[in-house]
A and B are shown apart, each in its own frame.
Chain A
Amino acid sequence: MEPTTKHAFLTGVTGQAGPDVLAELVCRGFEVAALVRRPAQISGCRVIVGDLFDPAPFAKEVEESDVIVHLASSRSLGQDEVLGDIAGCAGVIEHWKHGTFVGLSSGSLHPGSPVALREGMPLAIGNGYALGKACNEFQLRVAAGVGRRGPGITLRPGIFLGAGKRRNDRQVLGEIYKRCRSNAKFLFWSEEGLESFGSSFIGTADFGRAVSDALVLKISGAYNVAGGFCTWRHLIETINRCAGTRAEFVVSPRPPSVSGEFALPQCRRFLDTAKFDQAASFVPRQTLEQLVEDYVRAEQTAGVRPH
């Protein structure tokens, strides 16, 4: 008997982590149909041009897919964008008939905390973006397992570190790199903050693997995903080393007042990923140094490329 090809429906393929997720799905034998807003040439998948707010044209595609990976999301905090994010996710869920649904949420739903953050802890809805993500988690949770649907998996990644085309599109690494290039002074409110504040992170290639690993999960719910944790200090020093920049640190309990000063989030967001790592047998491969090196190389290559 011939093995049947599994079909995957993917949104957000042109986003920060989309290309890596697509590559990993293809690598694992999936035939991928990717939804994009504007016509584009994307190798490795069948492109469907459509709008998430009008799911009717691609409804059949979603219904017949064995797995659905929904990465598309609005990065804006505006009310319309947040409602659009929720409605878009609802449109895909509406046509989800069977198989696993993997949705992208955010590690920033967790509040800053000195302790490791587990999935069951109360969330911190600090802005519209987080509210949209919380609503998408909710609608996936409610829809999962109903009828012939499989599990609904929500991944809450740490900050993305990647060297892809969208690496500077409202991403933390791009923002810090830009400040480092201007030899900014990074402000911390305390010595303790300088040593401990930071965030869990994940490389986009690792995230691609994590999404594919998530397809084996049987229990619906939210899962923290990360490749490691870095303090802001460690990240900035790594950029300094790789890019030859000279960013400095200032410890002072005041908001940035002098030009060239910049304050990163004054909190520690360390995601406890044990639940996902054990359930999906996920092992990250990308280190912080390697990710920053890749990013800096991409930036330097782009800088010398003639326009």
Chain B
Amino acid sequence: MTQTARAIRAPGWGTVTLGGHQLSWRMLLFWAGVTFWLGNMILHTGLSGIRELRASLYFVAEIIVITSATRTIGLDLVAKFYCWGGTVMGVMWLVSAVFTSFVPSPDAVSRQFFVPFMEESLKLAPVAYLLWRGRTSRSWTMGASDIMLMAAASGGGFGLVEEAYFHLHNGPTRALDWLPLTRINGPTLTVGHSTWTGLAGATLGLALLWGPRKPLNYVLAGSGILWSIFDHSHHNYGVDRTGFSVDLFNFVTGHGWIALYLFVLAVILVVTSDLYVVRGTLSGSPELKIPRLSGLEDLKRVWRFLMVRRGLAYLMFKARYVTGRNRAELILQGNAIDQSLARFHNQWSGSALQSRTDQ
């Protein structure tokens, strides 16, 4: 790694040396969390956990496919967020242990509201952290699809152990064919962790795309996670309970189906919004034109080009909502991205010329 690359990657949390290798505390926490998460799951659920992994990844894969025309993040980052979801599950396990020491009864009403609140917040925390960390740079080049995808992946990773444990002890449950993580129990639908967090990420992404600093958008940003907490609480509260309060919960949440409809609506809005931005923000400037494929080996390079180009579109779209110095700084950033696309074209035409010469 070059000095420059090292400088860029210098972690903010300090480092620790293990076996001659320098590791950042963040990476150490990440791997410890992943080990705890997967180790715990395999220890307690064995093969059931591995089966659950397939269903969980199926959901994430669906979102990856749906957002393939609009996202700017690679699969490596999606995988990382899936693992971060598992890591925060470990944190939640600790939080639950502390909470249980204060409120030992598993049926306590406070538990049915506190746990969903903490779980939904923790699942979204890695996404919120990344957005906060990139608040002057990378976050501006992200579309709503990116945020929704990262959140769904984080939720998927988080829910993996719980789903595996549930199915091990309760056997298989009915699910929607196209959403294998859902559980249908009579009239009630439980959409599951990945959908809850996906919904929270979608509204957050939409709010950041359509005007990061508009007051009304704070409501939009928070609406997804609020509904997720509410629906999650409905799910937890309704277990082994009957009566007016459960009926009221069921009525307001539509027996859990409203969360699903909201999620589907959010996905449609996210993808159409992002497509609108990607297609409508940038002009046909030469450096922004998509290079022509001359073979399959070019696919990866063109895909990379497309991701960067989309990032530029999101950045320039969001730049409209800020003013003064902040806007100028975003345009400076956009200019740097634009130059990298121009360099890509120069290299591309150079290599195309080379391949023609070789023939």
Contacts and interface: CB of A to CB of B under 8 A. Distances in A.
A144 B324 contact: no
Contacts of B334: 135, 138-139, 142
A199 to B, nearest CB: 25
A85 B324 CA distance: 10
Interface stretch (A19-27, A61-69, A86-94, A263-271): A86-94
B338 A138 contact: yes
Interface in A60-107: 80, 82-87, 90-91, 94
A47 to B, nearest CB: 24
Contacts of A145: 283-284
A233 interface: no
What's the interface size class on A, roughly?
20 to 34
Interface in A128-144: 131, 134-135, 138-139, 141-144
A87 B320 contact: no
B282 A94 contact: no
Interface in B317-331: 319-320, 323-325, 327-329, 331
B328 A144 contact: no
Contacts of A84: 325, 328
Interface in B281-330: 281-285, 288, 312, 316, 319-320, 323-325, 327-329
Nearest to B288: A142
Nearest to A136: B331
Contacts of A82: 328
B283 A142 contact: yes
A82 B332 CA distance: 10
Contacts of A146: 280-283
Decide if the interface of chain A is mainly helix, strand, loop or mixed: helix
B319 A90 contact: yes
B245 interface: no
B335 interface: yes
Contacts of B332: 83, 86, 131, 135
Nearest to B334: A138
A218 to B, nearest CB: 13
Contacts of A139: 316, 331, 334-335
B285 A220 contact: yes
B328 A143 contact: no
A143 B327 CA distance: 15
Contacts of A220: 283, 285
22 contacts: A86-B328, A86-B331, A87-B324, A87-B328, A87-B331, A90-B327, A90-B328, A94-B320, A135-B328, A135-B331, A135-B332, A138-B334, A138-B335, A139-B334, A139-B335, A141-B283, A141-B338, A142-B288, A142-B316, A146-B281, A146-B282, A152-B283
List of 6 A-B pairs having minimum Cβ-Cβ separation, nearest first: A86-B328, A83-B328, A87-B328, A138-B335, A145-B283, A141-B285
Interface of A: 53, 80, 82-87, 90-91, 94, 131, 134-135, 138-139, 141-147, 152, 220
Interface of B: 280-285, 288, 312, 316, 319-320, 323-325, 327-329, 331-332, 334-335, 338
Given A83-B332, A131-B335, A145-B283, 14 more contacts: A53-B324, A82-B328, A83-B329, A87-B325, A87-B327, A90-B327, A91-B323, A131-B332, A138-B331, A139-B331, A139-B335, A141-B285, A141-B338, A142-B338
